[in-house]
Structure formats: structure tokens, C-alpha cells
Amino acid sequence: MRQIILDTETTGLEPSQGHRIIEIGCVEVINRKLTGRHYHQYIRPERNIDEQAIEIHGITPDFLKDKPVFSEIVDEFMAFIDGGQLVIHNAPFDVGFINHELKLHKGNFKAVKDHCSVIDTLVMARQKHPGQKNNLNALCKRYMVDNSQRDLHGALLDAEILADVYLMMTGGQTALSLSDKDTSSGGGQQEEGIQRLSKKFTTPIIRADITEEGAHQQKLQTIHKASGDNCIWLTKS
């Protein structure tokens, strides 16, 4: 099954008030594996952005002034999601905005439901965890999904995080897979572990200089004295 985990950022809360999409982020999942394919686009909305919205996503009119308008990216976007199953947190919000943009475009595309099926992970979460917080941050905490980079909302980052949450919420990681080979035996459906998008990080090693080493030793001596000459970092052999 081909699924598209999707998120948007907008100029405000209501398309009926003329608000527009300013960012779309999608990641592709096929048979419970992130494929590494994604769609990401900033969009010039041709209107102002509410200050409250800027506080949430940090996207300003100045940043968007050289970005394409929706009509310039609609063909590529719809080709990416066409025929897939959209997985969205609070789907009526994002689908409502996409439908609004398609209506303004007046092209050959109909409503989202005519191109894709939709799963709402907010509805799913409320059914699984009634009476609890079910926003994306709360679900990350509940399913131990790393969202430490989420200082502000961002469509692509939120789509990647939602992909992890959705996979955990619908089965989780049952085994550590080190290859793409199917190691299952016998019949039945095998649960697939989360396959994160490939990211390469280089962690620098920063060594203390002479001044820092001296300050460290001085601190150890203070601890040693306060503990009755029992600072383990100084007394261990």
C-alpha cells in the first residue's frame, strides 16, 4: 500500500476567510517503509500572514516573496499524492485548505477525495487514547518518538514525525531490520519496523583546552574537599 504522510502550514485558520497554504510537506510510505521520496514546497500566498500563524511556524511574507504560487506547483503536487492514501493529523484542516486551493485554481483537479483516500490520525488517536491529549507532541511523548528538532511547526518535519507516530500507533516496531530482505518464514502478515529517512550527521569532537582543564581540576578539588576527601574522580585508581 502506498501512503502519503502529509502536513501543511497556512496563513491562518480558516480558508473561508481567504487564508491560503504556504507550505506543503509529504513523505512516502510503501508497505510500512519510508521510501525516502518526499514532496516539499513553500508557496507564495498572495495575501498577508496572520501574526499568530507566524508565531507557530515562523514563515514570513518576506521569506515567501520569491516562491511560486499554488497554480505553479499544483500539477507536481497532485501527481505525487494521486492514488495514494493520505495520512494526516486533523485531516479536515489540511484537506479543507487543499480543496480550497484546488477550487481557486479552477483547473482539472477535483476535490481531494476524488484522488486519494484519507486517514485522520487525530481521530485514530482519540479512539485509542480517549480523554488524553492527542496532539502531535503528546503522541511523540507517548510513543517515544524523537521530536527534539520541532521548535517551530514545519510541514516536512511534521510529516516525518507523524510518519513515525503513525507506524508506532498502528503496530510499532516489532524487529530491528538491518536490510530490506524479508526474513519472515511461513504465512501471515509481517509487521515492518520504522525505516527513517536517511540522514547523515557528523558529530565533532571538541576537546577541552588548558584553561578548561584547569577549571575542571579546580572544581574537582572543591568537590574533594567538600566530600571529606572522597571525590571518586580523584580517588579512583
Residue at grid coordinates 502478515? 189
Residues annotated as part of the active site: 153
The residues near 48 (Cβ < 8 Å, ≥ 6 apart) are: 11, 61
For residue 108, which amino acid is it? N
5's enclosing H/E stretch is strand 2-10
β-pairing, 21-30 vs 2-10, is antiparallel
Q: Which of 147, 38, 29 is nearest to 87 (CA)?
A: 29
CA dihedral (14, 15, 20, 22) positive or negative: positive
